[in-house]
Amino acid sequence: MLNRIILIGRLTRDPELRYTPAGVAVTQFTLAVDRNFTGQNGEREADFIPVVTWRQLAETCANYLRKGRLAAVEGRIQVRNYENNEGKRVYVTEVIADNVRFLESSQNREGGNTSSGAGMPEEPSYGGGSGNGGNSGRGNNNNFSRNNNTQDPFSGDGKPIDISDDDLPF
User: Is 101 inside a domain boundary?
Assistant: yes
Q: Is residue 48 part of a domain?
A: yes
* Helical segments of the chain, H only: 55-64, 106-111
Is 161 among the domain residues?
no
pLDDT in tens, the chain (170 residues): 999 999 999 999 999 999 999 999 999 999 999 988 877 787 888 889 999 999 999 999 999 899 999 999 999 999 999 999 999 999 999 999 999 999 876 665 555 443 333 333 344 445 554 433 344 444 444 444 444 455 555 566 666 666 677 766 65
- Count the domains in the chain: 1
The per-residue pLDDT for 79 is: 94
Would you state the pLDDT for residue 43? 82
- Do the Cβ atoms of 17 and 58 come closer than 8 Å? yes
CA distance 134 to 30: 23
Domain that residue 28 falls in = 5-130
Those residues with Cβ within 8 angstroms of residue 79's Cβ, 6 or more apart along the chain or in another chain: 91, 92, 93
Q: Cα separations (Å) of 135 from 61, 116, 147?
A: 14, 24, 17
Cβ atoms of residues 75 and 57 within 8 Å: no
